[in-house]
Structure formats: C-alpha cells, structure tokens
Structure 1
C-alpha cells in the first residue's frame, strides 16, 4: 500500500500547509466517506461545511475559501484544488495490468507489420497487413488493428477496441474498452425503384491527433471520402458518436451520450454537454459550449453558450424557462 506524509504531499503540490497532522495518508477520498488515513478536497463553498464532520486527516483547499484546520488535521491551500486532486490521484494510481510476455503467443501479427520497440501486445490481438506500431504502444487482449493503420508512440488501446483499415492514430492516445475507430459512416439513399436503400461506399479514413482520449463504447466513423479528424488533445467520453467527415479542432470535450451527425465541424476548445446532438453540416466555432441535452440545428458563434432544443443563446433560453414557469402558476 502506498503511504505518504502531509509534507510529502505538500511538496508535490507546492501549496501552503496550514496546521499539521502526524497521520500517514494512504489515499484520497471524498469528504463524506473519508477515514482518518485519507486526504480530501474542498474546491467550493458548498463543501466547506462538510469539513467539520469529515474524518479526513487532511484536505486540499482552494486558497480563496475560508477553512480552518483542527487538532491533528491539516490543510494544504492551493490555487486550484481540482488540479491538485489530479496530481494526488496520479500519486496513488495503482499499476496497470501486468504483461507476462511483451507479445503474447496467441497474438496474430501479419508478417508485413512493423512493431516498434517496447510494444506490448496481449492475448488474441490481431494486427493486419502493413500496420505500423510506434514505440511503446500497448494493446491489451482482444484488440484488432486492420490493414495499413498507423499508431503513434506510447498509445494505449484497451480490450475489445477495433481500429479499421488505413486509420492514422497519433502519439500518447488512450482508447478505452470497445472503442470503434473507422467503421463505415451511415450513408444510404433510396434506390431508383423506391423499393430499397442503396449503401453509399465509405472510402475515407479516420485521423486522430496526439494525446486524444476516447471513452468506452464510443464510435468514430470513417469518412465517405477524405478523413474524419479528431484534433490534438480532444477528450471523448463513453458512448459518444462521431459521424463520417466530422472534424474536431484541438482540445474539444464531448460528454457521454452526445453525438455529431455527418460533416459537423468543431473549432478549438468546444465543449459538448452530455446527450447533446449536433445536426449534420453544422459548425460550432472555437470556445463555444453546448449545454447538456441540447439539440443544435445551426451554426454556433465562437465563445457562445447555447442551451435547449432547438439550442439557442443560454441566457435567452433560461428567460424562456422562467417565463413558462410563471405562466404555469397563473
């Protein structure tokens, strides 16, 4: 078990230590559930009142908050408790699953594939023709990488993920369980006789930048032509759909159950809330935010926040909701 003193943790955070504790710290925990050997976090005023009854021996606190230490209970004051929490969680992060052999004997690797140094390939993985894996790539058991795909250095791919042919993946990416990269986009048209549907071939690929993380059971479809593109630093939650020919700029965030229809463009730093849906051929410009559950049917200006279904300026939508409540009371 990992264990640290309050001084060890304060050195990591470079914060201001207020009070002291001789208790060894064995892990982080939320205020209500913390035991005497835990460190906890207070990032807003609504949690300050919980400190008095918490059993935690220490707390990391935003330096703008008024919180006092007590006997054998210390505070570390920092500019941003949430970012400090990330450092502490990393400190206590358990080691990943162990590979007994770097390349499991049940893995099927085409003779033309190029495997970089220090790669780890788990049981029952499939690596197709002309695939290139960079250095330090990790494929957990039951991953499939199809022909001519390129994966950059130190990317981690968890079990059940399928990366289809001709995709290009950057460095230091993380794909969680059962991610689908490069499946056919959803393209059909009525047949000439009106009695069926004609499938539109999807001959493009997917290009994913560096430091991208994609959550479990999310899908990024290949382009009809050219590429579906996910920019550097994007973070995609679980159960997200990104359709063919969509383009995401740098450091976009998409929360769970949200989805982009075909040929949607997101600028840099766009935030899409959970369960939001974006109409095809829509552009959401840099720095814009789409509220959870919203439906975007037109372009969104840079830096704007939209909400509702159909989505509109968040302040206007909130005014409408207030007016509706008043009408209902009348």
Structure 2
C-alpha cells in the first residue's frame, strides 16, 4: 500500500476524507478523529496509518483522522478510555485487562469498546530455557529454583511472566525461596544474560520470528517449553489470552515442532461515545478491503475479516454497537 506522505503533520499523520462512497445515510457530517498508535516508523504506526486511510474512504467528505505516535500497548487503552484518542490500536489481552481494571491497569477502562480484532499474527507467551539448566516445566522453578529473567515491571511481557508462574501456584518469592533468582531488566539485557549463561529461563511475549529471540536461539543452546493444557486454559479464561497458538516449527533455530502457547493479536478499540454510524463506517472500510490491509505490512497477512468480530480476538471486550451492526449484517457476528 502506498501511504500518503503529504498527510504527515507534526506529531502524527493526518488523513483527510475525500469520498462519500459507502457512507451510512446518517453519517453525513465530517468528523475529526484521533487514533493512538506507537512510535513513528514502527509497525503499529504503519498499521494505524493504513487503517486511517481505509477508514476515511467510508467517512463523510472533509473528515480527518490523525494518527498519534503514542502510547503503545499499555497507554492506548487509557487514552481511548479518557477520550484523549477516539480510537487506537491495542493488544486484545490488554484491552481485556484495561476494561476489567486488572494486571497492569489499576482502574477499569469502562469507556472502551472493540471495533475489530485479529489484525496480525498474535504475540505469544514465550518460555525460553537454557538446555543445560535441567528445567523441563515452570513447576521446576518452585522445586529446585533457577535464574529467571524477564523485562521490567509495568509492561505486558513481565505481566505474562507472573501469570505463567501463577498457573503453577508460584510467584517470584516462591522461586527465590527455592534458591532461585528473579531479574527484571531491559529486553536486550535479558537476551544477553541468557546467551551468556547468567540466566536459565526467559519469559516474554514474543512476535513471529522476533529478531532478538532469533538471535538468542542461534547456536542451539536454548529450547522453548510449553505450559500444560490446564495452565493455558486458565490464562485464556482469566486473562483473555487466545488459546490454540504456538511457537511454530522452524520459526526459531532448534524448534522442530510446534510448541503450544497462548497469546494475543492486535485489534482496534474505540471510545464508547463514538457514534454508531462512524464506528460502522470505520469497520466497513477496513473489513471490506482486507487485501489493502495485508499489503500495508507483512505481519498483517493474517488479517481475516470473517473472524475480526470474534470475542477472543477482541479480548472479550464488548463490540461497539456500530461494529456489531456491521458484523451482524456481514453474517460474521458472534
């Protein structure tokens, strides 16, 4: 997809509508929207710019969508809930946590609604273990300790580490009492500690063929392990993670067969006060042009409009009424 470079403005990308094609009859007044994404040049910024360009084609002439280059997975639901952004990209699980006020969110984000989900290959819970550590399951950390490393507190990756331990009745203190150690460090440091043999287990949310994880897997000194089926289902039930995923065979060096996992794709949320007709127009513009979405970024090849309204792909956050109307009319609603 060719993005309109002339639409770049200070602080974000602005997209101005120039067509009324496909606009619901009651949505004829121009609207001005802000869409939260993440850093300029990053994948989420590219996603958001592509979505904004498609959305505007179904909005009234003169409408404007500004892509904000902030605040990422944890910050975007907060911005949308407060009305500081009308819509934004969000990981499905983090939308769930925000809506319910849990994990890394101290208050319920009751003003967010989902527009659509399943944009990309989901990030997955990755449990990477050094082969010489003698650890086969996370339960071993509570029995014989081990040097666990994950990222800094406050982000999704660190939250996943705590959740994974919790499914075995463990926490950081239990690992330490068993003679182990827990380190919260920046991601590059965590990878380097594993490579240097200073840590035994690394837990994080990993993207498909994530470069730093590919680097870690080089040399065949690590392996990926899975949670048990019961533990993965608990994460799906309690925290809105999508089951049935895997670290795929051939994705990283040494992975010769799928390693079952859970995770979350990226979706789009909106403030509950967005009009039903505007929400309908945005969802229609995106879901009826899947090829253009997929062309915008390689990781969007997984987008399937027929599944974009599914509850799990949206973190079990209620669909915006305008989105629900579109999926019901398309015959793809839950």
Structure label with greater radius of gyration? 1
Fold equivalence (TM over 0.5): no
Between Structure 1 and Structure 2, which shows a larger proportion of helix residues?
Answer: 2
Between Structure 1 and Structure 2, which shows a larger proportion of strand residues?
Answer: 1
Which one scores higher on RCO, CA 8 angstroms, separation ≥ 6?
2
Q: TM tier, shorter chain?
A: under 0.3
* TM-score between both structures, scaled by the size of structure 1: 0.25
